[in-house]
Amino acid sequence: MTAVTRDLPKRQVLTTRISLGSFDEMIEAMADRGSEHSSSYVCCVNAHMTVEARDPAFAGILRQADFATADGMPVLLALRWFHRVKQERVAGNDIMPALLKRAAERGLSVYFLGATLEVQRRILDRIATELPTLKVAGAYAPPFAPLEAMDFDAEADRINSTGAHIVMVSLGCPKQERWMSLMKGRVNAIMLGMGGAFLLYAGLDTRAPIWMRRLSLEWLYRLWLEPRRLWRRYLVTNSIFVMLFLRAVIARRFRRIGDASAA
């Protein structure tokens, strides 16, 4: 079905384009896409994803996303710096509970794909307690496999047969974003790359205190919890993100100097 929902504007931030709009506007727009059974997808963009988007193919996936939200504070601060907009953060960890609540209010059904059976069980238990009217279309925890080994048509048929309006996906970045891109046009629902939001909603993960989030230090909290797994990723990713930001600032300064000279 062709979406009739108004597209939200986007602005370029380093390697990708980020959607503009308030948190509530985006939740409502996503729910609208779901209610229309519009085949569309949402990417929650953080520093890691921005760095991954140096790959032109992955950058194209983010560019084609119907919504590319400012998930990470570094991305949000870069957006504000370059475009002087009063954008608020729209993080996957906040989108998931808000959109589930909105789906329950509007009678929309939700399908969960990814993570483990235990994580999904905990998610469904929480929904049964907090959102008893929410329609759960289905849940599937696929065995680990590369994208090339997945049967996309069979998976699309499985999801579409449930009548789901919203599909929440947790396959990890960049796999879940690639999956959603390949499923656009096949799955008749809005798909959201939720990643670690599944673990948080399931009560198996904790979130940084709000003061750390406001200071763009959520990565430090995650590093403190899982130093062995994350130290290399954060050291490399954060360094590259800073490099991309500084390069863009310098390039912008030189363009201004050039424009002033030309005038």
* Confidence (pLDDT) at 5: 58
- Of 156-165, 169-178, 216-225, 230-239, least confident by mean pLDDT is 216-225
Residues 218, 199 share a domain? no
**Which pLDDT tens digit goes with each residue over 151-207?**
899 999 999 999 999 999 999 999 999 999 999 999 999 999 999 999 999 998 777
Domain end point (choices 179, 205, 231)? 205
- Whether 34 and 71 have beta carbons less than 8 Å apart is answered as no
Residues 143, 234 share a domain? no
Residues 229, 139 share a domain? no
The 3-state DSSP class for residue 44 equals strand
Q: How confident is the model at residue 1 (pLDDT cuts 50, 70, 90)?
A: very low
* Total count of domains within the chain: 2
- Of 66-75, 221-230, 237-246, least confident by mean pLDDT is 221-230
Residues 159, 33 share a domain? yes
pLDDT above 90: residue 93 = yes
pLDDT above 90: residue 213 = no
**Which pLDDT tens digit goes with each residue over 31-84?**
999 999 999 999 999 999 999 999 999 999 999 999 999 998 999 999 999 999
Closest to 126 (Cα-Cα) out of 186, 63, 199: 199
Q: Beta partners for 12?
A: 17
Q: Quote the pTM value.
A: 0.89
